[in-house]
Each structure stands twice: as structure tokens, then as C-alpha cells.
Structure 1
Amino acid sequence: MKKLALATLLFAALGLEHGYGYAAAQSDKEVVKADSKAIRYVGRIKRLPDGAVSFDWSGIYLQTLFTGNSIAMNASDTKYNEFNVFIDGKLVRKVDVKGAATTITLADSLGFGQHKLLLQKRTEGMEGRTTIYSFVLDKSAQLFECYDAPKRHIEFVGNSITCGYGTESNDVNLPYNPRVENSYKAFGPILARYFDADYTLISHSGQGAAKNWDDKKPVSDYTMRERFLQLFDEDKEPYKFDQYHPDLVMIGLGTNDYSRDPKPSKEQFLDSYKKIVKSIREKYGNVPVICVAPLGGDAVKEYLKDMVDKAGDSNLHFVALDNSYIDQGQDLGASYHPNYNGHRKMAMSLIPYISKVMKWTMPLRVVE
């Protein structure tokens, strides 16, 4: 009997280590592997042989329909990431994923019936890589594929602003704190929701096109030039560009390039920027690309406009964010990054130009 008990404990421990502890412990639940066809992931992900799914880029999200009264997930993280949980279109909670595999309740006490889950990563790749092993449902409950996936997709390439850093803060003096980052409230996802589009954020705080924020030389060795080509933000494994194809790509780089000395020359900046555009063309074809000059980026505005004017590319476009729209008091958050109010203003200023470039009508709806 002692040997049997020891073997049972060992089996349970192995199950917890590999993400299946909840299923082993509770036989009155339905466990569905994370790579189920009923789950729609949006963003760069890696499907693992055991049915798990790993990812780290900011803003990655999944959608599925489920029956029953509750839903949980079994997941781990190399560091500490946060997720928004939406049920039937409403934000119900924020959950944390950190350390070894554990079961995390996403929603409960829902009432039996069919519900829609949207789970979206708030924090960015440098905060860690998340692995989801399975979803846990009530006994006899099931997952079903969503039937209303958007027909449009916008990809945003950028830095901390694109990540939504500071959207949960109104304190400009707050030093770096990942807990005030919420990609759902960044201008990119706001724009995508307005135009009924999926979105991906290929973004990382402090990154530039030519130079990163904290570098001591005018041209960094490793910037968004290189990160754009990766499956993971924090790993140099190449991405095959086979999981989705955006209808529009928007580049929001330049703030970090010119925030500190030494700064890149116009030629150095544009050489790196053009390499990013070239990669987009090689991977996505002749997709429309909008080059967005950042807030307060007078030099970048001049450089990018000149580049686009001389490119001879009818699908390469330029627009500049207007700093005069931003109120230094109510529109800025942590470390002088735009807060949610600032991001909404940025999105609203870009909507007419996107509508023009893409020939998408402007629906009568709140920008949020």
C-alpha cells in the first residue's frame, strides 16, 4: 500500500510539472489541450508536440466558445505576465501567469449555456514567455470554434508606445513598472477594434529602427530590424511568416532613435528603417505600409516623409502624429508615455488616414 501511495504521488507531481495536474486531481472536469482547433490564436505562437502553445509577444490573444458554468487554464511562465479576460464581450478580470504550471480560474459562476472567451496578453515579451497547456471546463462541457472572426488584420511594428506601456497610469514620474502596461488600451488594438480587424503587435519597449534607447552608439546591433523576423520577441528563432497575413502594416518607430545622444544620422536611420520595410515586403508582399512619425519626432517626421516621397512605392504611406493634440496633464502616464486617454487621441487622429489608404468606411462607433 505504501508503494502504491508513493507511485500515485509521483504521478501527480509529474502531471503538475507538465501542466496536467488539474486533470489528474479532478476527474469531474473536462480538459482540452491548448492546441485544440476550437481555439483561435492571433499572433505568433509555437505549437508544441505535447499539445501546449507558447508565445511572448505583446497583445497576443485567443478566442473560443465554451459551454458550462466556468473555465480555467493550466499555464506557466518563464517570468510574470498579465492577461485580460473577457467573457461574452465584457472584461471580467485580470489574471497573472508566473512560474511553474498552475491552474488559473478565468471565469466562474457564469450560468450554464454558451459563452465566448477572449484572453489577451497585456504585457510584453521581455516580461517572459507564457505556455498554455490546457483549458479546464465543467464536466461534459465543450469548446467550439468562434464563427465571427474578423476579415481584416492590422500589424503594428513599434516600441513601448505600441506595447501600451503606461496606459494604466496617470503619473508621469512613475519609473518603469510592467504592471501599468496594458496592450489592450494601446492605439493599435483601439484602431483594430474600430475597423473590425484582428491585430498583432510586433513591439518591444526601448527599441528603435536604427538605435535603441539605452545604446551608447548611434546604430545598435540588434533593433526591430532583427526582432521583426523572430517567432518570439525574446528568442532569435526565425519566424516562418505562415500563421497570418495582415492587410495593413503600420510602423511606429523613431522615438527611441532620437531620445538620447549619440543619435543616428538621417542616412543611418533611414537605412535601418528601409530594411524593416524590405522585410515586410519580402514576407507579406505588396501590402500597404503606413510609416507613422511619432509624437514630438520632428526629425523623424522630416526623414520619413522624404523617404516615402522618393520611394516610388504606391503602397508606402506617411502620416505624422500631432503633438498639439496631447495634453501634458491628462494624456500622459508612466515615464511620460501616453496613457489610455492619450492613446485614444492617437487612434482617433489616425482613423481618417487609414480609411483613406485602405478604402475602409468609418463606422459610427465609440473609439475605445
Structure 2
Amino acid sequence: MTVVSKSSSAAFLAFAGLFLWACQPQTLTAEPSEIDSSERTAVGSFRPLGRYVLTESGGYQMGWPASGLALTFHGKTLTSTITDSGEGIMDLSVNGQMSTLELGAGTNRYTLIESPTKQTFDVKLTRRTESYDTGLFTIESVQSDGEVLPTPAPKKKILFLGDSITAGFGLHGDTKDCAYAPKTNAPLQSYAKLAAGQFGAEVQLIAISGRGVVHNWDDNPAPVMPLQIDSALPDNGEQWDDNLFRPDVIVAALGTNDWSVQNPGMEKFRLGYKNMLRDLRAQFPRAHIVTVSGPLLEGGKREAAKDGINWAMNELRDPEISTVDLTLSETGLKWACQYHPGRDSMKNMANQLGAHIADQMDWTYPAIQMPIKPQHDLADDGKKVFTERLSEIRELPELRGGTLLAGDSITQGWRWQKNLLDGEISNHGIGWDTAVGLHARLPEVLRHRPDQMFILIGTNDIGYGHTAQQVAGPVKSFIERASEVTPETKIYLQSILPRESGSLPLVQTYNDALKSVAAETGVEYLDLTANFAAQDGTLRKDLSTDGLHLNEDGYKVWADILNPIINSSHKPD
């Protein structure tokens, strides 16, 4: 047996008498190390994470993403003996600080912690790479010079049945064009682990990249995922004992690989999905099952997958099966390697799934705070304006009462017309912004508690060729969340202003969609068209500087519409 330890670059750093991991992720490399005779072996003292098979020697053989160990100990030194192919990569968390452990071939001992003073450490060591890339691994034992403390399992439990999206494929990449390598995987940053983490739930990721319900990506003949429901290890005949992990919630996030390359046949997919749900229910009669569609399928393929899921659910008529659509983030890191969801998309998906589970299970879900970034396809000048103007908005004092204006450059223009609107005004207009961008900065809006909020957004989406749904969807979500958090605020959704003749058909399409959003969310729709349109439907020249933006007279017309609403909400002192 070879003894290895971490390199000095990953050693604990001394600061004010405390020893902490370096803030930047580190890689633990193999170096010779002597084991002190005072160390005592603590075989089986850790809590296994994920499914496993006990070996004849008492080790835990594992293979699923994010499987590994958790333990708490008080001491100076912690090591673990692991058997691996020599290609596996582990994620090591020590008191929340992350580092990377690249395993050597064969059975080796790895120094995970080495501290000059005794301290209490919470440790998780989990698999980053998938079994099809790097094979299985076995945690033979852990050794500590101190006291290993009890590590009770969380009460809530969630089981995920999924593919590469659930496994965190390529998540360490920042673009859809980055080259995949096993080290780019990040199951701990997948939507599944993020959502479960917000609930404080223990999770099992039964996920393999490229697998489907009835058909795998690229005609891979390996077993499809429903055949893995009982498996203790990926693609292995060893059966898992369900009594060791009884999930409260099961998330079935499959279908992308069935439809991404070729049509598996609707009837075959429907029946396969129905059988999968039936088998899950038979094994876990008390669990709530969530079916997931998206987020990578588009158009007809997306609709086909949803059709199969809905058909299966209708056939079973199980009240404890629900469904949710997950969507990518349009801001920040939308993509990871090879067109997989990026890290911000994973956060967005986790929030959507978490909110759905919370509603179904009556659990509390504190949403993950998303970074506020401009839409990914915004022009460079627009991104610059977004960033600079957002900094200004963050400096605005919190509004209690008064009026909040949310929108793009047309709304931002009120800054130079300060005497036209009555009462206290908080201007959240950002030039170049789109519906997605407005939704992204919802957290800044929710700092305030205005009497009324006026929303005007969408005209910039025309230049990016966005569909009406790409405008209406984020606006609807924005209103629903704002209404939930600030129910005392009266929200008004305004129509997009007229503009040049070539854009008028799309303006009308957008406005029809926005009017429907207002009706669906119960807010008032203000149609500004009649006040600003010339006889040919374009923006009146006497109210505009360039056929798109308003001049002072235009803002006076707008003020005449808004001020009666603002004044009607004033409460007596």
C-alpha cells in the first residue's frame, strides 16, 4: 500500500491562530508520507453518501456522482484509504472549503487534513467523475488521530433519476464550446444538489450521462436509466437495499437523450415513461414524484417529451405525481461544456425545482440568490450600460411608499424629467435592457416597498429577435414574485410604446402577450398606444427625439396618464 498526502499548496494556512483551507480550490497530489504510530484506524466511522456495495474487506465500493463519505472529527490528522483505477477525481470539503483530490491507481492512503492543533472538522469527500469515464472506487477506511464524532443523516431525503444534467456534466466550463474532460464535471453544483442543499436534504444522484428512458444518446446500447432504479452501482447487477434510503421526494429528470438525436417513437416513449413511474411508485409508495421536462430540448422535441410525460401521468392518475418545466438562465453563465447548462442555469433550475417541491411538500425553500448579470446575448455596449447603471440603482435608498419605475432607457429617461411625476420616485430604468434583464434584477426591486410600480419593458427585445413568449415569460415571473413579496404594491404593466413602422407588427404581438400576462397575474394593464401613436401607428414625431425615445413633451403626456394613478393612492397623514 502506498501512502500519499496533499501537497504543501493545499495545506492549512495560519491566520489569527486558526487553520483554514485556502479560498481558491486546490488539488491534492500524491507525495510520500509517514503515518504516526499514535493514529488509530476508524473503519466504518464515516457516514456513506449515496449508494454503495460492501466489499469482503469491509470497504464501501461506490460509483454514482457525488457518492462518498461524510464525517466530523476532532483532532489534527485525517487520512483515508481508497482503491481506484487511477483516473478518479474527488471533491473534498473541509468546513465548507473545497479542494480536489486526484486519485492514484491501486490502494493508497491520502492525507485529507493535517493541522498543527486539534480542531473540529466537518468533512465530505465525494466523487466528481462518472463511472463510465473513470470506473468505480472503494473507500476502504478512514484514519484519525482524534475523536470521530456522530454525523446524523438529514431527515429529508430526495432521490434523483437523471442524465448528464443531473450529474453536473462539464459544469466547470464557462462556455458551450469548451472541451469536455472528466475534471470539468461538478455534481455538487448541479441543480439537484443545489436544490436539495437548500432544503438541508440528503440526496442520491442516480444519473449517467447520455442515458434515457427507452433510448440512449447516440444509440448507446448500455442500460437505460429505469433499469438502474434498483442498482447499488452504475450498470451493475448488485441490488440496492431501499430500506437504507427512503426518499420523501423522487425527481425523474429524463427524456432529453431519448429525443435529442432521433425519434424513439412516441408510443414507446409513453409506455416506457409510464412503466418507470409505475416502478418508482411500487418501490416508494409514500414518496412524492416530480417529473421534469427540459431544459435542453426545443421545439417539437420538447413538446414530444412533454407529451409522453403528461400521457404517462394521466394514465396513472396518481395525485402524488407532479410535473415542472425547468429553464436555463438567460444571464450569467448560461452554458457549460458541450451545450450543457452552466452554473447560473443550474441555480435558476434549482430555484424552479425547489419552489415546486416546497409547494408540493409544504417545505420551506430559501431561494438561491442569483448573480445580477446582463443578458448573455446583450451587445457589449449594453452590458457596460447595464453594469454601470445597476451600480447606481443599488445605491438608491429603500423606498417605503411612493412609486417605483421599472424598465429600459425609456423609463430611465424620467431621471431628466424629475418635476413631472408626483411624489417620491425610485427609477429602475436601464438602457438597452430586455425582459430577461429586468427579471434578473428582481432582487434589487424587492428591496423596496412602493405604493405602486409601473413596468415598461420589451422594446429592446425586438432588436434581438426574441419571441413574444421570451418577453412575456420573464415579465410574468417578475410580476408573480413581486406580488408575492410585496402584496401591498399595486402593479401596473404598460404596453410597449409605438416605434418605427417596420417594428409595429412585433410591437402588437408583444403587447397582446403582455396584456394576457396582466390578466393572468391580476395586475392592471395600461395601454399607452392611443396617447403616443401617430395616424400611421408609429411614435408621434412631436413626442420623440428619434422615433423610439421620448422628448420632454412625450414625458408630459406620459405623466398625465400616471399622475392620477399615483395621486389616487396617496393615503392621508
Q: TM-score range by the shorter chain?
A: 0.7 to 0.9
SS of structure 2 residue aligned to 1:109: strand
The structure-2 alpha-carbon separation of the partners of 1:200 and 1:110, relative to structure 1 and needing over 3 Å to count, comes to farther
SS of structure 2 residue aligned to 1:206: coil
Alpha-carbon distance in structure 1 between the residues aligned to 2:325 and 2:247 = 22
Richer in strand (by share): 1
5+ residue gaps, structure 1, are 1-14
2:138 pairs with 1:137: no
Equivalent in the alignment of 1:8: none
Equivalent in the alignment of 1:244: 245
Alpha-carbon distance in structure 2 between the residues aligned to 1:43 and 1:128 = 16
Equivalenced residues, count:
337
Paired AA for residue 267 in structure 1: E
Q: Deviations over 1:278-315 (max 9, x none)?
A: 22122212311000001132321232123323421101
Greater Rg over alpha carbons, structure: 2
SS of structure 2 residue aligned to 1:313: coil
Q: 2:82 aligns with which of 69, 75, 93?
A: 75
**TM-fit CA distance, 1:248:** 0.2
Paired AA for residue 133 in structure 1: E
Q: Deviations over 1:166-209 (max 9, x none)?
A: 21101312343111001000000000111110001000000000
2:335 pairs with 1:332: yes
Alpha-carbon distance in structure 2 between the residues aligned to 1:364 and 1:317 = 20
**TM-fit CA distance, 1:46:** 1.4
Alpha-carbon distance in structure 2 between the residues aligned to 1:362 and 1:110 = 39
Equivalent in the alignment of 2:135: 128
TM-score, normalized by length of structure 2? 0.55
2:357 pairs with 1:351: no
Equivalent in the alignment of 1:163: 167
Alpha-carbon distance in structure 1 between the residues aligned to 2:79 and 2:369 = 31
Equivalent in the alignment of 2:480: none
Alpha-carbon distance in structure 1 between the residues aligned to 2:35 and 2:112 = 18
Equivalent in the alignment of 1:271: 271
SS of structure 1 residue aligned to 2:350: helix
2:95 pairs with 1:88: yes
Contact 2:274 2:313 survives alignment (8 Å): no
Contact 1:156 1:202 survives alignment (8 Å): yes
Alpha-carbon distance in structure 2 between the residues aligned to 1:254 and 1:48 = 34
SS of structure 1 residue aligned to 2:58: coil
2:39 pairs with 1:29: yes
Contact 2:344 2:370 survives alignment (8 Å): no
Contact 1:23 1:31 survives alignment (8 Å): no
Q: Deviations over 1:100-135 (max 9, x none)?
A: 111112122263122211122222222211111121
Contact 2:63 2:136 survives alignment (8 Å): yes
**TM-fit CA distance, 1:365:** 6.1
SS of structure 2 residue aligned to 1:257: helix
Contact 2:62 2:68 survives alignment (8 Å): no
Alpha-carbon distance in structure 2 between the residues aligned to 1:171 and 1:275 = 37
Contact 1:79 1:129 survives alignment (8 Å): no
2:365 pairs with 1:362: yes
Paired AA for residue 302 in structure 1: D
**TM-fit CA distance, 1:326:** 3.8
The structure-2 alpha-carbon separation of the partners of 1:275 and 1:175, relative to structure 1 and needing over 3 Å to count, comes to farther
The aligned runs of 1:1-368 (5 Å cut-off) are 26-33=36-43, 35-36=44-45, 39-91=46-98, 93-109=99-115, 111-126=117-132, 127-138=134-145, 141-147=146-152, 149-215=153-219, 222-261=223-262, 263-295=263-295, 296=297, 297-323=302-328, 325-326=329-330, 330-363=333-366, 366=369
Q: Deviations over 1:297-348 (max 9, x none)?
A: 232123212332342110111111235x445x73101001012111011111
RMSD: 2.4
Contact 1:73 1:134 survives alignment (8 Å): yes
Contact 1:81 1:128 survives alignment (8 Å): yes
SS of structure 2 residue aligned to 1:150: coil
Q: Deviations over 1:233-288 (max 9, x none)?
A: 03222223232101000011011101112x11221112212222122122212311
Alpha-carbon distance in structure 1 between the residues aligned to 2:116 and 2:194 = 27
Contact 1:73 1:106 survives alignment (8 Å): yes
**TM-fit CA distance, 1:350:** 1.7
Alpha-carbon distance in structure 1 between the residues aligned to 2:136 and 2:55 = 14
TM-score, normalized by length of structure 1? 0.85
Greater Cα shift, 267-276 or 189-198:
267-276
The structure-2 alpha-carbon separation of the partners of 1:270 and 1:65, relative to structure 1 and needing over 3 Å to count, comes to same
Bigger relative contact order, structure 1 or 2 (CA pairs below 8 A, ≥6 apart): 1
